[in-house]
Amino acid sequence: MDSLTYRAGRLRDSRTWDIRSQLRIILGIAKPLGAIALLVPGMAKLKEWAYAGFTFAFISAFFAHYLAGDGPIAFAPLVLLVLLVVSYLTLTARGYQAKVTSQ
């Protein structure tokens, strides 16, 4: 939620990484929409896009934190990425992939 609200510390951090405020707003809107897409049943194609978007976001966040020298906290996005992969694998193990390819 920090992506949508103005907090002086967070804004200063994003400027050190050279992240534009537009990107911060886009991610602040896209992440909750992606979470809703993953939680709501159905919408197979949209779920695939949400998984891809979160994958890119978590990998990018890891590199941004790591290159900024944030220490161990830089690995937090990788933990979230592992949870995302586990979620995707359990979803495909339940036969979800057949629904995506048959549409």
pLDDT on residue 98: 47
pLDDT on residue 27: 87
**Domain residue spans of the chain:** 33-102
Q: What is the DSSP track for 35-79?
A: HHHHHSS--HHHHHHHHHHHHHHHHHHHHHHHHTT-GGGGGHHHH
pLDDT on residue 44: 87
pLDDT on residue 38: 92
Residue ranges in the chain modelled with pLDDT below 70: 1-20, 95-103
